[in-house]
Amino acid sequence: MLPAKAALFIENKREWINLLIESKIAYVLDFDGTVTESDITSMMARHYGGEHYPECSAAYHRGEFGMKEWLERMSAYLPPDREAILAFAKERAALRPGLKGFLRSVHDRGYPLYIASDGFGLYIEPILEMHGCREHVTKIFRNRTFEDSGRLKTLTPYAHRSCPVCGNCKASLVTGLLEKGCRVYYVGDGFNDRFAAAYADIIFARDRLAGACSAAGIPFQPWDDFHDLLKGIDLANNHREHRFCDPAGKGILD
């Protein structure tokens, strides 16, 4: 049996470790239109899809199908040439100002940083490596594009088991980090980012994500570039009272 002083020391150490875990911040970043200034997947689909792009995207925006099916349809028009696709993406891969400094700052503080993308995905690592900042990203959750019978197809390994909306269930990533005791800071710009952002503790939103948060009454921090995230700004806590989906259940809520 341990002496009382030793037992107290161990208990205090355990509480200290738990406090560190509970207070740890984890960042989750969207990629297209967030890390980059432009949505490369949309640019790629528009360029290679031709007349099929507006037709498919209009049906998607009417709610006839989700991002998962949009990716499946539009990837069929991509050329089965990875080098050509990567060259197209790299030529248009302008990073949002302040990103490199932000990634270094988060890395130096020891906080994990994840990128979660629901685009074609194959260009994310090459773009980050091209700009010398891949090493500051803990892990990338993205869709997979591969060649099959002379055409490209997109796999969605992080999709919800039954929800048809998103190709990448970012809400599952956020809730998983919360279960590990992290405070999650979500950074995004797209409409579908609302699913994950609604579960985050702090939301940095711009463009369509900001509009979705405003419409639902979800507090968020507006931002233009990553310099804003480095500033000592007042952060509005999201109390997670509003939900757009249930990643542990059937997915999107009616």
Span 167-198, pLDDT tens digits: 999 999 999 999 999 999 999 999 999 999 99
- Indicate whether 236 pLDDT > 90: no
**24 pLDDT higher than 80:** yes
57, 74, 87: which is closest to 120 by C-alpha?
Answer: 74
The answer to the question of residue 78 being in a domain is yes
Domain region containing 102: 25-252
| Residue 86, in any domain of the structure | yes
Backbone angles phi, psi at 166, to 5 degrees: -90, 145
Instruction: Flag whether 9 is in a domain.
Output: no
The proportion of the chain whose per-residue pLDDT surpasses 90, expressed as a percent, equals 74
Establish if 74 belongs to a structural domain.
yes
Where residue 87 sits, what CATH number does that domain have?
Answer: 3.40.50.1000
Q: How many residues does the chain have?
A: 254
Does residue 254 register a pLDDT over 90? no
| Total domains in the fold of the chain | 1
Inside any domain, residue 1: no
Q: Which of 3-7, 189-193, 224-228 has the lowest mean pLDDT?
A: 3-7
Round to whole Å and give the CA distance between 185 and 202. Answer: 5
Residue 61 inside a domain? The answer is yes
